[in-house]
Amino acid sequence: MKNKLILIVLAFALLALNTTLAAPELVPLQQQSQAALISAEVFMRHHYKRIPLDDAASAKIFDNYLKTLDGEKLFFMQSDLDQLADARSKMDDAILKQDLSIPFAIYNLYQRRVTERINFARSLLLKGFDFDKKEYYQYTRKNATWSKSVSEMDDLWRRRVKNDWLRLKLAGQDDKSIVETLSKRYDNSLSSLSKIKSEDVFQYFMSAYATTIDPHTDYFGLRAADDFDVSMKLSIVGIGAVLQEKDEYTTIRELVAGGPAALSGKLKVGDRILGVGQGEHLPVAEVVGQRLDDTVALIRGAEDTTVRLDILPAAATLDGQHSVISLVRKKISLDKQAAKKEIFELKEGAITRRIGVITLPGFYLDFEARLRGDKNYKSATRDVSRLLTQFKKDKVDSVLIDLRNNGGGSLDEAIELTGLFIDKGPVVQELDSKGKVNVSSDTHAGLVWSGPLGILINRGSASASEIFAAAIQDYGRGIIIGETSFGKGTVQSVVNLDQLVKSDKPKYGELKMTIAQFFRINGGTTQLHGVKPDIRLPTMTDEEDFGESSYRNALPWSQIKPASYLRYADLTGIFPKLLAMHNRRVSSDKDFQYLKEDIAEFEERRQKNQISLNEAERRAERQAQEAKIKLREKSQGRAAGKPSLQDDGLQSNERNLDADLAMEQARKNAKDVLLNEAVHIVSDEVGLLTTNLAANTLH
């Protein structure tokens, strides 16, 4: 009887929430059709590959568009694809004839299918699930076939929702809380869908078109172009707050030290922004329920202008007292994404070595600030140079540059950064679409760091990271540690379409377009093959799923004539000794062996690609995982405690903000086993080298 009452209460709760949000039918704007045609003309005339826009290209665009919208095959069915069969050959016409009605019709169908699936998911919450049954859920479906019937799709979603429920149950939530959590999750999904705009659909379609030409060509709408600009400048003009959307409220997740928000003393983490007003006198516009990027756009603005925020304090209830505060916008430096340093001290017997580590997340450069003569313009090379100078004062024995997950950035910065470690010479070769080779060199006399050097890379190290790492390797200037890099050997340039057609206001966006292929100074290219490490470390990355080789339309590997350069040293002679020392050390390093165990388990799960939906099996797996962690903590002499990174079944915006921030911090504080070992390897390098590398160029 008690269980029946609970289900009745839950049913009424769900009925109250079950008000379907009908997402509006979206239509293209005239300027979007114009932007599509202008983009196509630029691609066909100036792209490195110059692929014609015809029926063959149309089929690829169609497939890529579907992959963009529904890459996991969770919403469209085979019958939908049959219905859309004629559209497969009309994507080129949509662009060339400036009629985007078909791409938008495909999106509107997708939108209806998502709404249907989310509402079906909510209906399952009324029924509950049998967790004693032996069945499985396939969680990666990119290689799956499209569902052939509604019943097949229903079964897929039943398993999907059952897994969502089971994750929350294993984390300790009761049935009532689970229903409330998942109901809110599905409501938020529908709410997000209803906020999609015409410009978003156009962005999806144009990116699908651009990336069929090559993986690194893309289209940026106005907002995407602004975000790309911020990532290169590492600065914005605003209030200095990291924001997130939480339950329809724009919530302050972090205050940037030294920014207007932090200096005011009037804002705290967890405060909610109810409205935004421009200047001291214009009315405050409500932003509750508004898209996060729309709210961010209102808060950003010109430097030294005033923005007013209507704030509901973190501790207040939803009907609590709120207040309006005024802040003056300032230029905010995104220091968390800039180069930073750390010094490791290693003791080996009577010898103590100091290893300076520089973590570089990207090759950033504020082009505009440099052009206008700003002496303090943001630059990756300038920041690294400053840190290297500090290292010399700190008397470090060697330097390790950590380029893991550095996806690149400015080509100029890659060349300039190499120049900190060599005394003039070629760094990279570029081959344009006409077959002309241009050699880009470091032309600055002298170097900032002449001592032993190591570069740590992984599969996420791409483009400018690969140019830099390859040059260091070719010169014999340092050792490369880690895993094979991404394999991106192409050069992109940004084309502002508004400037191209002389539009008096921004409306067409920008293109990021491949214009050349770059080659190492030894004549090879990093394209597809990447930069291969001298000392390899274990990895969880599957090269078939991530990296240049995972793209079907990637350019092939090729080779040109080597540039004229002199190596600083031949380090290959010490590699066998470094490898032997590495293997000997990690064989008794418990953390390293644990990492290898985790990688093996991860690979096994990836190959299996399914998870049990039986509660007893899943609970046993969870308990085994907790026991393994506690055993590891005990063996390392650390105090055992509840694992902070165990799956709680929640999405980031569903957690209590304090708990989410604590989880984020726990990830940051987790021991970086690979970095620690890389530090030991460069320390070994110091012991094996007897000369100043940069002072002994080979002849």
Q: Residue 375: its pLDDT value, please?
A: 85
- What the block records as the tokens of 3 is 């269980």
Residue 519 and residue 426 in contact, taking contact as beta carbons nearer than 8 Å: no
Amino acid 678: pLDDT: 98
Q: What share of the chain is helix, strand, coil (3-state, %, to 5)?
A: 45, 15, 40
Which pairing describes strands 272-278 and 306-312: parallel, antiparallel, or unpaired?
antiparallel
Which of 677, 649, 653 lies closest to 163 in space, CA to CA? 649
Q: What b/e string do you get for 594-603 counting C-beta neighbours within 10 Å, with b at 16 or more?
A: bbeeeeeeee
Residue 14 has pLDDT above 70, yes or no: no
Phi-psi region of 322 (alpha: psi -120 to 50; beta: other; left: phi over 0): beta
pLDDT over threshold 50, residue 11? no
Cα(588)–Cα(649) distance, integer angstroms: 35
The whole-number pLDDT of residue 417 equals: 98
Q: Please check the confidence at residue 355 and state whether its pLDDT lies above 90.
A: yes
% pLDDT > 90, the chain: 75
Among 223-237, 275-289, 516-530, 626-640, the range scoring the smallest mean pLDDT is: 626-640
Please check the confidence at residue 697 and state whether its pLDDT lies above 70: no
Q: Which of 62-71, 226-235, 304-313, 315-324 has the lowest mean pLDDT?
A: 226-235
Range 557-582 average pLDDT: 95
Q: Report residue 539 as tokens.
A: 């990895």
Q: Decide if pLDDT at 134 tops 80.
A: yes
What's the pLDDT band for 22 if we cut at 50, 70, 90?
low
* The pairing of beta strand 453-457 with beta strand 398-402: parallel
Which of 226-240, 262-276, 396-410 shows the lowest mean pLDDT across its residues?
A: 226-240
Please give the average per-residue pLDDT across 164-186, as a whole number: 95
Q: Give the per-residue pLDDT at 665.
A: 84
* pLDDT higher than 80, residue 329: yes
Residue 1 clears pLDDT 50, i.e. is over it: no
Residue in this structure with the two tokens 């070629």, named with its chain if needed = 426
Task: Report which of residues 465 and 627 the model is more confident about.
Answer: 465
Catalytic hit among 58, 488, 534, 549: 488
Q: Are 263 and 271 in contact (CB under 8 A)?
A: no
For the segment 625-649, the average pLDDT, to the nearest whole number, is 72
Per-residue confidence band for 7, with pLDDT thresholds at 50, 70 and 90: very low
d(CA 479, CA 452) in angstroms, rounded, equals 9
- Specify the pLDDT at position 9: 36
pLDDT in tens, 70-112: 999 999 999 999 999 999 999 999 999 999 999 999 999 999 9
Question: For all residues of the chain together, what is the average pLDDT?
Answer: 90
Contact 345, 356 (CB under 8 A): no
Q: For residue 426, what pLDDT band results from cuts at 50, 70 and 90?
A: very high
When pLDDT is cut at 50, 70 and 90, the band that residue 12 belongs to is very low
Catalytic residue among 226, 474, 660, 684: 474
132 an active-site residue? Answer: no
User: Nearest Cα to 199, choosing from 221, 181, 218, 183?
Assistant: 221
**Mean pLDDT across the stretch 514-540?**
95
652 labelled catalytic: no
Write down the catalytic residue from 183, 207, 235, 463: 463
* Residue 139: predicted pLDDT: 87
Over the stretch 381-420, which tens digit does the pLDDT of each residue have? 999 999 999 999 999 999 999 999 999 999 999 999 999 9
**Residue labelled with tokens 């060339």:** 96
pLDDT value at 674 more than 90: yes
Give me the helices (H) in 125-269, please.
150-170, 175-194, 198-213, 222-233, 260-264
Say whether 179 sits in a helix, a strand or coil: helix
Q: What is the pLDDT of residues 458-507, one digit of tens each?
A: 999 999 999 999 999 999 999 999 999 999 999 999 999 999 999 888 89
3 state DSSP class of 481: strand
Q: Is 488 a catalytic residue?
A: yes
pLDDT of residue 13: 40
Residue 278 pLDDT exceeds 80: yes
